[in-house]
Structure 1
Amino acid sequence: MDGTYTLVIPLPEPAEIEIGALGAHDLSAGWYAYTGSAFGPGGFSRIDRHRELARGERETRHWHVDYLLGHDATRIERAVRTPERDVECEVARTLPDAGIAGFGSSDCDCPSHLAYAEGRRTLLEATERAHETA
């Protein structure tokens, strides 16, 4: 099945993470949400690939989020999905920007597809609301 997804990812401690061509970025401790597209080969199985990378079962990094998920302290807390609808940019634009220009948005006009909030509940509720209203 195809659609749009958002991964909710905790980062318990501040970290400097090298994010491919975007370079090194200092990330604050807190909660991150990455919104992506699951259209194309494999559909939502892309989420399984992200989970494998976060668990250390996969090394190859294809997307910006892979660099965040490749950090030892991260994991995927939740994957929020909107099946059969391409609302990636709409969802990403409603979430609070994490301040990393171009993260996950190299193929669109969005400033970023990575969101940030200090608290889990704040970001999770915003993510669920964004998917419901998109």
Structure 2
Amino acid sequence: MLGGTYTLLVAMSERTTITVGALGEHVFEPGWYAYTGSAFGTGGFARIERHRAVDDGENDTRHWHIDYLLGHAETTIAAVARTVEADIECVVADALPGQPVPEFGASDCDCGSHLAFAPDRERLWRAVQGAHRAFAP
């Protein structure tokens, strides 16, 4: 299966507090979130379908920080960007505008965060697409 780096664009409809595993409680403001991850395991980009199942309420298992966010009723995956066979997770996450959510999704690297928040969907999505293009091999 093909794998690589992906970014989920997630809509949050209203302000809510979510307990995110070991990170504890975090207040998420309404707006747009971009979560960047990698999918290099045996399932490759099937990980995105797993994220969609959590988002749809079909899977209630929580392994990663993003599972806690997607498992909340106020969130929806609005779009997905993928870069095939490219390990660019950290540089894409670092390139995104907006406010990073401290330590979110970055427990296995030295990044400050892999989740960015922005109130403006279009600006954030353009930045996601641009970062994937800029850092693709």
Q: Indicate the TM-score class for this superposition, using the shorter chain for normalisation.
A: over 0.9
Counterpart position of 2:5? 4
1:97 Cα offset (Å):
5.2
How many angstroms does 1:41 deviate by?
1.8
TM-score, L = length of structure 2 = 0.95
Which consecutive residues of structure 2, in runs of 5 or more, have no partner in the other structure? none
CA contact 2:54–2:70 (8 Å) conserved in 1: yes
Distance in 1 (CA, whole Å) between partners of 2:12 and 2:120 is 11
- 1:75 maps to a residue whose letter is T
- Kindly report structure 1 stretches of 4+ aligned residues shifted beyond 4 Å: none
For the Cα contact (< 8 Å) 1:34–1:114, is it kept in 2? Answer: yes
Counterparts of 2:57 and 2:114 in 1: how far apart (Å)? 23
Equivalent in the alignment of 1:131: 132
Contact 2:20 2:69 in 1 (8 A): yes
Secondary structure in 2 matching 1:40: coil
Gap regions ≥5 residues in structure 1: none
Query: Which whole-Å CA distance do the structure 1 matches of 2:48 and 2:123 have between them?
Result: 22
Partner of 2:40: 39
**Cα distance 1:99–1:87, how it changes in 2: closer, same or farther (>3 A)?**
closer
Hey, what does 2:55 align to over in structure 1? 54
SS in 1 for 2:76: coil
In the alignment, the residues of structure 2 paired with residue 97 and residue 110 of structure 1 have an alpha-carbon distance, to the nearest angstrom, of: 15
* C-alpha RMSD of the superposition: 0.9
- What residue is the counterpart of 2:110 in the other structure? 109
Q: What is the rounded CA distance, in whole Å, between the counterparts of 1:8 and 1:99 in structure 2?
A: 14
Question: Contact conserved, 1:97 with 1:112, CA < 8 A, in 2?
Answer: no
In the aligned structure 2, how far is the partner of 1:112 from the partner of 1:26?
A: 15
Is the 1:16–1:24 Cα contact (8 Å) retained in structure 2? yes
Q: Distance in 2 between matches of 1:97 and 1:24?
A: 20
- Is residue 101–residue 116 contact of structure 2 (8 Å, CA) maintained in 1? no
Question: Which residue of 2 is the match for residue 80 of structure 1?
Answer: 81
Aligned pairs, number:
134
